[in-house]
Amino acid sequence: MFENISNHLFNQEELKQVEYHISKYPKKMSAVMPVLWMIQEKFGWISIDSMKYVGELLELPYEHVLGVATFYTMYFKKPVGKYHLQICTNVSCMLCGGDKLFKYVSDKLGIKNKEVTSDGIFSIEEVECLGSCGTAPMLQVNNKEYYENLTLPQVDELLDRFRAEASKN
């Protein structure tokens, strides 16, 4: 299916997975989200070159792939830390201190929005609603784990735990 592409970022097995995603939809272009996800799972983030590659696979203009990747905060457009902390500052979270939480973590780690600590352990990102408004304020770690109803001492504990885990690996 992908004979016309000379430089592959995916191996044969991964290309079969791409074919599987394409087969689920009436149009090839609809597989853009799962294929972007595959890129992120493999490389940890999604570079411009990999967006172009996804465009080639799905016969889509790069600009379309870029539009999808930049719309969703679950796609990382820059390298992230071992623990990528996404802190919601949307309305419910803001009313419950989400913006203060973001500033607290930012100051504590010494990094700004979308930056990575020099040791590569943490990165932070201010995001829109993550669907956990009833348990605000909250943060999400590595697109997987939710920490809710957060207080600043709990955040301190969390960061200490992650740092300790990172030092073991």
Chain centre to alpha carbon of residue 115? 13
Smallest separation (angstroms) from ligand FES to the CB of 132: 4
Binding-residue pattern over the window 59 to 98 for ligand FES, x denoting contact by CB under 6 A: -----------------------------x-xxxx-----
Q: 5 vs 152, which CB is nearer to ligand FES? A: 152
Task: Please identify which residue in 33, 129, 141, 166 interacts with ligand FES, judged by CB under 6 A.
Answer: 129
Smallest separation (angstroms) from ligand FES to the CB of 138: 6
Residue 136 structure tokens: 């605000």
Binding-residue pattern over the window 131 to 150 for ligand FES, x denoting contact by CB under 6 A: xxx--x-x------------
- Which strand (E) or helix (H) includes residue 69? helix 62-71
Beta bridge pairs of residue 146 = 140
Smallest separation (angstroms) from ligand FES to the CB of 105: 15
Q: 5 vs 91, which CB is nearer to ligand FES? A: 91
Contact partners, residue 58, CB within 8 Å, separation at least 6: 22, 28, 29, 31, 32, 35, 65
> What are the strands of the beta sheet with 145-147, ordered from one edge?
122-127, 83-88, 139-141, 145-147
Smallest separation (angstroms) from ligand FES to the CB of 44: 25
Do 146 and 136 form a contact (C-beta atoms < 8 A)?
Answer: no
Contact partners, residue 110, CB within 8 Å, separation at least 6: 117
Smallest separation (angstroms) from ligand FES to the CB of 147: 12
> Which parts of this chain interact with ligand FES (CB under 6 A)?
88, 90-93, 129-133, 136, 138
